[in-house]
Structure 1
Amino acid sequence: MSIKSINVRNQFRGTIKEIIEGPVVSEVDVATPAGIVTSVITTRSVKELDLKPGREVIAFVKSTEVSIATL
């Protein structure tokens, strides 16, 4: 499969570090040059995409809001 175009500007190439699989949803940790990106997706999607630690992926981040707090 190749991605021809997608409307998500924040893309992080990385490698799956860990998958914490639950009965309905799973956490997928992706190691990127910028750090770890964690995605919560359905366990069904994890299986359909055949996600496994060590597999190279692209994490797409799309958000309608970014909050900022002072330190």
Structure 2
Amino acid sequence: MSIAAINSRNQFKGSIVAIHRAPVVSEIEVETPAGIVSAVVTTSSVERLPLRLGDEVLAVFKATEVLVAKLG
């Protein structure tokens, strides 16, 4: 299965470098050109997809709020 199109512009292609499993939810770490992106997903989704270390994935996110902080 592949994604033909998606309406989200907020996405990073990368590979899974860590999976921290727990009974209900798991944390997936994806290494992207922009850095590590972490996602918390249900453990049943990890098993259903099935996600494994080294898998190439697309991290897609939608933000309803973005904060900006001045540095310096």
Provide the TM-score with structure 1 as the length reference: 0.92
Q: 1:54: how far off?
A: 0.6
- Distance, in Å, in 2 between the alignment partners of 1:11 and 1:68 is 19
- The number of equivalent residue pairs is 71
2:29 maps to amino acid: D
Provide the TM-score with structure 2 as the length reference: 0.91
Matched, 1:2 2:5: no
Which secondary structure does the structure 2 equivalent of 1:45 belong to? helix
Structure 1 stretches of at least 4 aligned residues deviating more than 3 Å after TM superposition: none
Give CA-to-partner distance per residue, 1:17-58, whole Å, 9 cap, x none.
000001110000000111000000000000001101111101
Equivalent pairs: percent with the same residue? Answer: 58
Q: Give the unaligned 5+ runs of structure 1.
A: none
**Higher fraction of strand:** 1
